[in-house]
Amino acid sequence: MNPLTVTPENSAMDPKASVGHLSKIISPGTPPPQNEEIEMSILCCMMIDRKAYQTAIDSLEREDFYRLHHQVLFDAIIATWNDVADNEELDLVGLQTTLEKSGHMEDIGGQDYMLEIADYGAVRSNINTYIRNLKEASKRRQAIQRLEFGLKDAYRPDVEITETILTVRSSLNSLISKEGVSEEPVAYQSFPVDALPEPARAYLQESAETLGCDPGYIALPMLSAIAGAVGNSRCIQLKRGWTEPAVIWSAIIGESGTMKSPAFNIALKPVEQKQQKALKQYQFDMAEYKEDLNKCEEGQTQPDRPTCQRLIVDNTTIEALGELLESSPKGLLLARDELAGWLGSFNAYKSGKSGSDEAGWLSMFRAERVFVDRKTGDKKLIYIPRAAVSITGGIQPGILQRGFTQEHRESGLLARFLLAMPPRKRKIWTEREVDVGIEEAYIEMFENLLDMQMKTDASGESYPLKLGLTPEAKAVMIPYLDAHNASGVDLEGEQAASWAKLEAYSARLSLMVHLIRVAGRDVSLRDEQTIDHYSVEAAVTLNEWLKVESIRIYNIFTAQAKKATCEKLVKKIQRRGGRGTPREWANSRSKKTVGEARQELQMLVDGKYGRFETTQTGGRDSEAFVCFCMPDS
């Protein structure tokens, strides 16, 4: 059937008519969940950009659109793109021809409405956000419709109520299962460069092409460096009582030779340059100080000893960091090419457990107060009212799994890190270099971020300037947070902890995007002290990528750990002859019940290490596990 053909059967499926009963009972006069602007934005992106079009058709169905004329236009756009060559874009004349031939031009509102959609001004890089919001509304309508069917059946005395309940439950569960998190490792998706505003976007793209690496290797250290430059000067306020600081912890995971270090260095270039200038200034000031001190006669006031402005550190003990934070109230960036050194520094020179240092680091992630007790020096106690420390660095996969101990994982230390593990790329020589103008704009942006200062109240206490959200930004943020939290409700362990921290990161990334725009002199920004919906939408795109990437990484590590466990079990079974019943396996594993032993053996079957065989023993069926690999001779 022609997808544009409207028949009596599918015209009766107009969603306006199919989801009204229950919604009227719950809230009279309220239309079913839908968003006309989102629908128009998606159709606009589909018209003007092939990549956005492909993303949309991979994710959406005709019925995801609430308005019937948008469903018709969706089908027409697909039909038109099917006739477009691979190296060409969609022509509105071709779309008009498709609509006229099918007799649906007037159904969508005529040529004027088609042109209105094409000129709607949607941001093509936000297509994933638009799709997510549309799918959310579509799922709500489907839930209403399925509940309505159950409600009607519940009124019917000829229908068994148990059957009705089971049908409704099964129907609703099918909606949930479509959005479930897969346990299978998924393919790596490249970092969404377009979600970053200028000049960070151009610098990231140029740097990745220059190094020949995935942009993710540079993006995460870049975000941490930007957060470190902002520090305690700004924070985001989602509502009264809920603020998030400009603190980002990130880790790039990769084996040696995967371009971690060059990417790390190019992302941090502006802050490293600024730190070098500060060190040179400090050396000059110290020389003057010593000269003035030598000239100072007895009884005269001695000159003040100069201090060095610190922006970036690699000394990672809490005691040393406390001293630096005391003279750098705005905060610091801890950058280590290899984060293994940071993990190894926990409770350095201390005989106790690692809890005290870890608690201090967790407070720094939230930019909370920190007390540092010192055993040496004149000052025995250092108090930091707002200890803001962003962290970034690289780490090898094996070291990450060993270095972050079970204690670190249970405390949520690992979950606080934004992770990326791009696949290794073959290194190819290129003469490409970062454009000088693009690099200068990026460095200037950093200078502007570093110039942002904390506010001071009447008592002289410094505090961050709180940036709120516009009503339009809240309209994006609130549904996203609700959907994010709902989608993670069934997660467990490390994935659940990471999911929870990504809620906070959606706000922190909104702050980062906004401040990049401020420091980059974005002319479209109306108010520097209020975060608009464009910044939130971009942050949602970034957060969604980070969400997918974190799940992918955790799944890979889980699969690797499961494989290692299976191989150990197989070796033990092989030593016992390569076969055995669950009871025999339980007896050989003194702390295992027969049921637990059966589960272990089932894990081996699922991993294709063996199979269960059923044989007759004394007239009864007996189940035994048999290894595919015979025991070593």
Confidence category of residue 171, pLDDT binned at 50, 70, 90 = low
How many C-beta atoms surround the C-beta of residue 117 within 10 A? 25
pTM of this prediction?
A: 0.68
569 has pLDDT over 60:
yes
How far, CA to CA in Å, does 74 sit from each of 71, 104, 123, 195, 606? 5, 12, 18, 25, 42
Map tokens 């509105």 to a residue.
Answer: 92
Residue 80's H or E segment, with its range, is: helix 68-81
483: CB partners within 8 A, 6+ apart: 132, 136
Asked whether the beta carbons of 96 and 77 are under 8 A apart, the reply is no
In the chain, how long is the greatest CA-to-CA distance? 108
How far, CA to CA in Å, does 344 sit from each of 123, 389, 412? 45, 18, 17
Tell me which range, 14-28, 267-281, 401-415, is most confidently predicted by mean pLDDT.
267-281
593: CB partners within 8 A, 6+ apart: 586
Map tokens 């290692």 to a residue.
Answer: 564
181 has pLDDT over 50:
no
pLDDT for res 134: 92
Asked whether the beta carbons of 526 and 473 are under 8 A apart, the reply is no
State the Cα–Cα distance between residues 541 and 539, nearest whole angstrom.
5
Q: Tell how strand 242-245 and strand 234-239 pair up.
A: antiparallel
- Residue ranges of alpha helices (H) inside 155-215 are 161-178, 200-211
Taking only the tens place, the pLDDT of each residue in 2-55 is 444 433 333 333 444 444 444 444 555 677 889 999 999 999 999 999 888 988
Asked whether the beta carbons of 271 and 246 are under 8 A apart, the reply is no
Specify burial of residue 607 (Cβ count, 10 A radius: 0-12, 13-18, 19+).
Answer: middle
Nearest to 245, CA basis, from 321, 334, 330: 330
Taking only the tens place, the pLDDT of each residue in 313-364 is 886 778 888 888 888 999 999 999 888 888 877 655 454 444 467 888 889 9
Averaged pLDDT of the chain? 83
